[in-house]
Amino acid sequence: MHDDGIQKPLYQRTTQEVESDLKADIVNGLTGSDAEQRLEEIGPNQLKATKKTTLFQKFLNQFKDFMIVVLLVAALIAGLTGEVADALIILAVVILNAVFGVYQEAKADEAIEALQKMSAPNANVRRDGVIMTLPASELVPGDIVALEAGDVIPADMRLLESASLKIEEAALTGESVPVEKQTRALTGTDLPLGDRTNLAFMNSNVTYGRGLGIITGTGMSTEVGHIAGMLESTEATKTPLQVNLSKLGKSLTYLILIIAVVVFIVGMLRTPETASGNRLVDMLLTAISLAVAAIPEGLPAIVTITLALGTNQLAKKHALMRKLPAVETLGSTQIIGSDKTGTLTQNKMTVEKYYVDQNLIDAPTPVTGSAEQLADLMALNNDTKINTDGDKLGDPTETALITFNESQHRNLKQLFENNPRVAEIPFDSERKLMTTIHPHVDQFMITVKGAPDELLRRTTHRLDHDQTVMMEIADKDAIGAVNVAMAQDALRVLGFAYKLVDEIPTKLESDLVENDLIFVGMIGMIDPERPEVAGAVAEAKKAGIRTLMITGDHKITAEAISRRLGILSSEQGSDAVITGRELDQLDDATFKARVSQYSVYARVAPEHKVRIVKAWQSQGQVVAMTGDGVNDAPALKTADIGVAMGITGTEVSKGAADMVLADDNFATIVNAVEEGRKVFSNIQKSIQYLLSANLGEVLTLFVMTIMGWNILAPVHILWINLVTDTLPAIALGMEPVEPGIMERKPRGRNSDFLSNGLGSTIIYQGLIEGLITLGVYWYAINFPVHASVGAAHADALTMAFATLGLIQLFHAFNTKSIYQSIFTVGVFKNKTFNWAIVIAALALAVTIVMPGLNDIFHVTHLDWHQWLLVLGSSLAIVPIVEIIKFIQRRSMHKQ
């Protein structure tokens, strides 16, 4: 049931008001006919299914990309020119990409389906005055539902009764500690979900106690339904890789088409009439072959393979990629917005300090004296159950007390046998205390735990080094000061006290039992940070990446944890921390202007997380968002890269994410960023190699056409592309990470594949390749081995063909780094690359040296003088580029 804006919020209404609003009957529940009518009007208590598209529709959608259209045109042209093999290769690349795209799109539909699977299957409902078990899908607003420990909340509801009811809402709010529920109307305004203690939310879990609630919202009208709606309406952000590839494809295509037209026109004007007398057809074929050769048709496949190799490496580092382009996006990440619970922290309450004998002691310290008495009370005043597998079942706060005892190697089995519980007063959120009674020698021991301030009001003595002494006012002030100090450090504080009585009280009432107590001590608990996270945050900062904490937890807790992790520096004050309520008071323009001021966000709702991501994106930042709960899913989908936790994460968050951490380790993200940077660097190397080679080919054909020389035939260009483009370019994607890659600043959203000087590098290297090839052709024509003009031209064409192919293979070594020397990055480190060069060189040479293939490729046999000139000229590209790189490094160093 959504608030209509006129009525006050649901949590501010009394149970009587809610009953009246919903026309419900708390005593008897709805009648069967009334429930049936409401179900027909409102619909089942289910989340709306996502709109499905057929596999064929998904397949067709993959062909809307501009680069794919260009490749299809290239395949058509290749087929028309008789180059069927090349056409088939291009088509195979396009179809493989389409199939992969369909697979990824199908995976993306899982998020809302996972939400649907989380829903409770059944619920205990009061109808016609009788409690009955019904499928949760049949529940309607106004139904009265009984709740017990272990139940999954079937729909949103206003609580009517609460008997020590605690509900774990971490998936929705990000709080690791179950919320203590009550029934009175709340007075606060704009309360976040975690503070609406009289409400229960669909898909959260009852961990303790029992209760009764009236359903106020079902299906898409629940908080979970609200998230599902956000997921459905949130468009997945295009990765920088996808944007860059699309932009590069369009630019290349326009440029290539212009060059092809110019070559055709110039050729028609300059080229003499051919023997066939059909100059128009010959020049058309030349222009088409140039266009096909210049388009890097292997680029999508090479990018996909490089990303797949990166994915494989990340899997070995416990980072599982759901979407290939996200591998590269990691490398450009500038902001990591991280959920706290289960991501930065262990999602496990732990005793960190204990206070006895007026001393605050770190938890690992062995317990002695009064501390042993404190440990006994922690174990006895506890409802934790341990199953046959040794797992602890119960409230996380209480299981942490048992874990503390176990860490102290205490014999709990004997303690429980010697001190069985014979009576109790359960915890109550009103008095904030819990009491148990146990036999003790010839008396009975009453143990009390709870909020220290409430406990101190009921104590008259304190334990001091195993001696009972009077509790003075100064003692209470000192204990109160320690309590405040621990709370400011984000510790959850519990106090413990006891007293001995001769018999079990006849009336188990708080005022009669919980008084004249002996104060023993306090413990401070926290959901501790993961030990590796602080180092990972520091490493990210070194790499120019800013980490944000975005949590549903309290402001004090969030600030304390963030300082311990280094997310908040010592220079940053509390103004770097903002709550969801404070964020609501800022309009979008103001928030976007101030977004860089905030590093920690506390008590936030799902909408806030999406807003934070969008604010940073509006600043041109590449944002990664981590999380594990249902509430994180919309932000994970909105972010440039969503990172879900594999162990503690919900299926909903995993379905919305691009990457899943198999070990829930924040440090894995930093390792993944390094891999992402390597992937982008290697794709850049492949692009540098492909485009400089293609530019060399275009320049060669263009000048040959203008000069009226014999022009390399389409079969020459296509064969060079086939043998020299594919294997070396793929092997460049397997290059090891360059030294110092994590000390560079993130590339950011505005960078592309031609940034960092790569565009000018491609141009000068392509020009060198083309000029050397043309130089070899010119030399062979002017200083022929054979006297016959026809033989000289055939030899020159063969030498140009061999040079253009081999120079690309030698140049592949140059592309191992844009600016670094190949001797710095390692000439022969990459064994796959070495073999790729050898295989490609053999495939090129065999067309010249093997009898029979010469005729197919229209080439001649070369003598050793000619081969020496070809090899020497091709190899010259390496020292020439090395000298230019050296000059560039010197120039950059001076700057």
Residues labelled catalytic? 339
Contact 168, 205 (CB under 8 A): yes
Contact 312, 684 (CB under 8 A): no
Instruction: Give the C-alpha separation, 345 to 410, whole Å.
Output: 27
Contacts of 486 (CB under 8 A, 6+ apart): 353, 355, 360, 493, 522, 524
Phi and psi at residue 785, to the nearest 5°: -80, -35
Instruction: Write out the H or E segment, with its range, that includes residue 727.
Output: helix 726-732
3-state SS assignment for residue 460: strand
Instruction: For 110-139, give the DSSP string.
Output: HHHHHHHHHS-SEEEEEETTEEEEEEGGG-
Q: Which of 699, 680, 732, 724 is nearest to 328 (CA)?
A: 680
| Cβ count near 706 (within 10 Å) | 15
Q: Which two tokens stand for residue 428?
A: 């109550």
Contacts of 246 (CB under 8 A, 6+ apart): 65, 66, 67
Torsion-angle region of 342 (φ positive above 0: left; ψ -120 to 50: alpha; else: beta)? left
Contact 321, 314 (CB under 8 A): yes
Q: Which two tokens stand for residue 124?
A: 């205990």
Torsion-angle region of 233 (φ positive above 0: left; ψ -120 to 50: alpha; else: beta)? alpha
Q: Using the structure block, give the residue that is written with the tokens 């590209």.
A: 877
Q: Which two tokens stand for residue 120?
A: 């409770």
Read off the amino acid at residue 671.
N
Q: Which residues of 405-435 are buried (b: 16+ CB within 10 A; e: fewer)?
A: beebebebeeeeeebeeeebbebbeebbbbb
Read off the amino acid at residue 525.
M
Contact 704, 712 (CB under 8 A): yes
Contact 817, 694 (CB under 8 A): no
Instruction: Give the C-alpha separation, 822 to 98, whole Å.
Output: 36
Contact 356, 463 (CB under 8 A): yes
Give 212's strand partners.
Answer: 146, 161
In 489-640, the DSSP E strands lie at 492-501, 517-526, 546-550, 577-579, 600-602, 623-627
Contacts of 166 (CB under 8 A, 6+ apart): 178, 179, 180, 181, 206, 207, 208, 209, 395
- Radius of gyration from C-alpha coordinates of the chain: 36
Q: Which two tokens stand for residue 49?
A: 């299914």
Length of the chain as a residue count: 895
Contact 642, 625 (CB under 8 A): yes
Positive or negative, the CA dihedral 770, 776, 781, 786 is negative
Q: Which of 249, 254, 237, 238 is nearest to 303 (CA)?
A: 249
Instruction: Give the C-alpha separation, 825 to 738, whole Å.
Output: 7
Q: Which residues of 678-689 are buried (b: 16+ CB within 10 A; e: fewer)?
A: bbbbbbbbbbbb
3-state SS assignment for residue 419: coil
Instruction: Write out the H or E segment, with its range, that includes residue 433.
Output: strand 433-440
